[in-house]
Amino acid sequence: MKKLTILFVFLIQTLNLIGQVKEAENIIKKAPKVDSLGWKKGGLISINLAQTSLTNWAAGGQNSVSIQGLLSLFASFKSDFTIWDNYLDIGYGLLQQGESKKFIKTDDKFELTSKFGLQFQKNFFIAGALNFKTQMTVGWNYAKDTQKISNFLSPAYLIIGLGIDWKPKQALSVFGAPFTGRLTYVGDSELANKGAFGVKPAIYDSLGNLLKSAEKMKKEFGGFVRLFFNKGDFDIEFLKNVNITTKLELFSDYLNKPQNIDVNWENIIVFKVNKIISINLITQLIYDDNVKIPIDSNGDGKFDTHAPRTQFKEIFGLGFSLNF
């Protein structure tokens, strides 16, 4: 009897231990994955195509062809006490419409970001960041083909900031830099002389003779906040086939109208139909107090004033995408 009692107790304890092991395994499976140390590299290549063809179409319209490409790369290094994140985003788009054989630019972006941090508490880093933005080709006011409104390195923005980065995962970061310098450079003399993008314009006499050339560089000092989120590292069941990347940047110039905060908010949403084909939505919202938009205040079809305005861009299409 005593042996049976001991055997019974042993079986109960064994079953209890097995249950505890299985419970521990379930907890581990549900726990968020810890970012591994060392280098992590990857990216996204996306090409969107659209075409419209009309023949004897009574409702009217125009034939059109458009193509838009996106290349997004990252390389991140993590050790026990340091992080180093690097991102490169290049986007370009063209549209040909109607009888015109000219292609109109619909997207043009080159952006490089690098951030290095030293950990001082769990998920918190003292960090320095560098962000560079420009475009690659000339931009025109297509209502007036002779009016140039942008060019390569016109504008170009360089932000260098020092602050604190909260980074609980590789795909989530909130960086706040109370000490930030921003340089705006306009390399095109024609645009700089007009005072485009906030640089000091050239000075002319009453006869139109140039007295003083424009200052091609504008310097600002202020505070900078950058939020970055990528859904890829988060297991969200109802978004299983959707990848979302969002980036929000805020800048306030301490020395000139600090209440007018510059905003740059970008989103990339990729819905995977299969391994190659995807539906892509790209949006960007910009507000920059230094960029003056032409305004027709009288409604007479003529621009009579310039003022800052909210800028918005949206690109939606079916195309090919590859994550690696």
Q: Mean pLDDT in runs of 10 for the chain (324 residues)?
A: 38 43 43 65 88 74 86 92 95 86 88 96 95 93 74 95 93 95 94 91 87 91 95 67 91 92 94 86 91 73 75 88 81
Residue-level pLDDT at 8:
38
256 alpha carbon, distance to own chain's centre: 26
CA dist., res. 227 & res. 223, Å (int):
14
Residue-level pLDDT at 163:
97
Residue-level pLDDT at 20:
46
How do 124-134 and 305-307 pair as beta strands? unpaired
Residue-level pLDDT at 205:
85
Reported in sequence order, the residue ranges of the chain that DSSP labels E, i.e. its strands, are 38-52, 64-78, 82-97, 103-121, 124-134, 139-140, 148-150, 156-169, 172-185, 203-204, 210-212, 217-230, 242-253, 262-272, 277-287, 293-295, 305-307, 311-323
Residue type, 2: K
Q: Is 156:187 a contact under the CB 8 Å cutoff? A: yes
> What is the radius of gyration, based on Cα positions, of the chain?
27
pTM: 0.81
Residue-level pLDDT at 7:
36
Residue-level pLDDT at 301:
61
Is the CATH number 2.40.230 carried by domain 38-323?
yes
CA dist., res. 110 & res. 132, Å (int):
8
Residue-level pLDDT at 299:
67
Residue-level pLDDT at 50:
81
Q: Where are the alpha helices (DSSP H) in the chain?
A: 2-30, 189-193
Residue-level pLDDT at 102:
81
Q: Which residues contact 6 (CB under 8 A, 6 or more apart)?
A: none
| Torsion angle in degrees (nearest 10) through CA of 322, 66, 249, 179 | 100
